[in-house]
Each structure stands twice: as structure tokens, then as C-alpha cells.
Amino acid sequence: MDLQLLTICLLTFAINFVGALAYAARIAGVRTQRIALAFALFNVLVLLSRLSNGFLGPFLAKRIESALLADSGDGLLFDFRLVLAAATAASVLGTLFIPTAQRWFSRAIGDFQRHRSVLTLVKVAASPRGLAFLWRAGTPPRAAHLRGLCGLNGVGFPVIALNVLAQALLGVGVLASLYAGYLVPEYRVTASQLSAIVNGFATILLFVLIDPQLSVMTDDVVSGSVGEGVFRRTVVLLALSRVCGTVLAQVLFVPAAWLVVACAHLM
């Protein structure tokens, strides 16, 4: 693995790890009754994630251009699969990290209520006392969170299945379009632009069909009509479906790339 590929994998890892922690922000918001503030603090991490995502595309594009110029793209497919594996590893670690991140978010919400400043919050977290709390707050997932997953009365399994599909499409959207540009270099600009269509469809699934269901359930927990235990198990199931989505992306990657090639020819 060269430095460029390592950088791409690390950026992919960071993006997916932060995405998995979104579920921890929801739990912290429910626990503290400060849902809006929980998401405002989480958006600070999202900004860092999107900054990483801004560098990811050019790095991948440069790798493909270098392979085309050197006529040495035999290992390119393995490189892309390694990037997808980094996404899976980040999703798994992020899922395991949810209990710890939930405690961090809960503490951050309380500190922000007092200081009303993100910079002060970062300063407090970086202090010896803050770092000691971050270490002490670490906790592994409990088996109790996995019990009763098949008997949830929260979001339905069609929503879970749609989340798997949406995460898979988000995983292959940019990668498949860039790899399609390697398969048909004469259409690589067109192929790279088609990623917006794939990601757009996945975004519609997330924000029109999936996220509203979880948002309604969050409000139900706050109002007391749904138990927090059910909500936490639902979050676990959604996090696991995110992991499954990154695995499904491995299966869809090559077919998706050839589909982009076909669409590029039809444009």
C-alpha cells in the first residue's frame, strides 16, 4: 500500500466513522432532552467529515489518471475494494463506539449549556480533566442492546432494508463512477458526473423515507409514548444495517461501474 492509497483509506474511514456516530447523537439528545443541541454539536463533526470527503474525490481521480497514463491499472479494482473495506471497518468500529460516543455527547451538551461556545467546549475537552473523562467514559456495547431486535415495534424492517440499500448506494456512488471512467477513458468525465445521480437517489431514500421515521420515533421517546430501550435497540439495528450496506457495496461495485458505463454511452 502506497501513501496515496493509505490517505484515501484513512479519509474514507474518517467519513464513515463520523457517519456512524450520528446514532450516538440521537441517543444523547433523547437522554438530555436537548435534541436540537445534540445535532448542532454533531454538525461540527460533520463539517470535518465533509472536509475529508472534499479531498477524497480528487485523490481517487488522481489515482485513476495515473493508472491510465502509466497503463498499469491491474491492481485498481483491488484498491477500490480496499477503500470499501475501510468503510466497513469504520462502520463496525463506529457501531461499537456508540455507547461511548453517547456519553461524550451527553457531557458535551451539558458543558455547552454552561459555556455557550464551541471553542470553549473544545478547550475543556482538550484539558487534562476533559481527557480523563473521555478515557473514563469508554464503555463496550452491552448484550442487552442486542436483545429483542427481531421484535421491535419501532421502525419497520422495510425501513431497515431501505437503509441497507441507501448506504450501499452511497458507498459505491463516487467509487463506481470513477472506476467506470477507468473502464471507458473516453467517457470518464461523463461517468464521474453520473455519481451525483446515484448519490442523489440514495440521499432521497435517506431523507425522505428513512430519516423521518427515526425522527418521529425520537419525538415519541421524548413524549414518553415509546420506551428508550426500544429506541436504543432500533438505533443498534440501524447501525448494523449501515454495516451491511457497506458490505453490499462490495457486491454492487463492479455491476454499478458497468451500469454507469452503459449510462455514459447513452448520454
- How many C-beta atoms surround the C-beta of residue 36 within 10 A? 7
Q: Spell out the per-residue pLDDT of the chain, length 267, in tens.
A: 788 889 889 989 988 898 888 888 888 888 888 877 777 777 777 676 666 666 787 888 888 888 888 777 778 889 999 999 999 999 999 989 888 888 888 888 888 878 777 788 778 888 888 888 778 877 777 666 555 555 555 667 788 888 899 889 888 888 888 888 888 888 888 888 887 777 788 878 877 878 788 788 888 887 888 777 778 888 888 888 999 999 999 999 999 888 888 888 877
Query: What whole-number distance in Å separates Cα of residue 168 and Cα of residue 191?
Result: 19
How far, in Å, CA of 52 to CA of 11, rounded? 6
Q: Which of 238, 239, 235 is nearest to 92 (CA)?
A: 239
Is 94 in contact with 239 (CB distance < 8 Å)? Answer: yes
Full-model pTM: 0.84
All cell numbers assigned to 86: 475501510
- Burial of 222 per CB tally in 10 Å (0-12, 13-18, 19+): middle
All 3 cell numbers of residue 19? 457517519
d(CA 152, CA 191): 41
Please give the pLDDT value at position 160: 86
pLDDT at 13: 92
Q: How many CB atoms lie within 10 A of CB 25?
A: 27
Alpha carbon 9 to chain centroid, angstroms: 14
End-to-end CA distance of the chain: 36
Q: What is the pLDDT of residue 239?
A: 87
Contacts 24+ apart (CB under 8 A), 149-153: 149/233, 149/236, 149/237, 152/230, 152/233, 152/234, 152/237, 153/230
